[in-house]
Amino acid sequence: MGCIMKGGRGLYSRVTVAAVLLAAGAGERIGRRPKCLLELGGVPLIRRMLIALSGAGVDELAVVLGHHAEQIGPAVETFPVTVVHNPRPDEGQVSSQRLGLAALTGRCDAVVVALADQPLINAQDISALIGAWKKRPPGTDVVYPQVQGERGNPVMFSADVRERILAGEANVGCRQWQARHPEMVAPFATDNRRYRVDIDTLEDLERFERETGHALRWPRAVAV
């Protein structure tokens, strides 16, 4: 598939983009439930993110599962993705990031690391992030959305950064690498608040409904 975008010299260059989708958490702050299975308009959040990434032209996608893998698995099995199981998800998000990055098999120019609990991200938002990465300042290799001075998600970085992360210490993931190499990081300034919306707590569920007018519902298979 690939991402076709117009370059500065008027030529069209193809950027091969891979993605890692993180969905291994226990959902401790939301009752130990798989929050990525919350449904918006009857569609689980993890499927909405898969649709967004696919619609933006991502070439390869790895989904990292851990806690609740048996419940989440059926929601992703119809997509052409590599499913990676984190045997130690309690070690934190870094371990899942590294497993997902290592699972990517094809050659890529850049990688998007996305969260499975962002209800509003769509293909246009992913495409905008890819566009910002293509237009990043010289000498930088990492781009993240910055909304009114606050960091958002997903994040995107070059294949070289992926290799550097994997070659580094086991406790270093995307955020830690960026902190160590701030000169390589460029914020993508935007007023698009969808990059800032994710669901971690019951309060987040209430706030989401209050601010958007849309409710997130648990599927029947997930005990409340």
88-106 tens-digit pLDDT: 999 999 999 999 999 998 7
Task: Tell me the residue range of the domain where 16 lies.
Answer: 3-211
Residue pair 126/49 in contact (Cβ under 8 Å)? The answer is no
> Helices 45-55 and 69-76 meet at what angle, rounded to 10?
40
pLDDT digits (tens, 9 = 90+) for 141-176: 999 999 999 999 999 999 999 999 999 988 889 999
Q: Is residue 61 part of a domain?
A: yes
Total domains, the chain: 1
Q: Which of 1, 196, 184, 28 is nearest to 115 (CA)?
A: 196
**Which tokens hold the place of 51?**
């649709």
The CATH number for 166's domain is: 3.90.550.10
Q: Is residue 219 part of a domain?
A: no
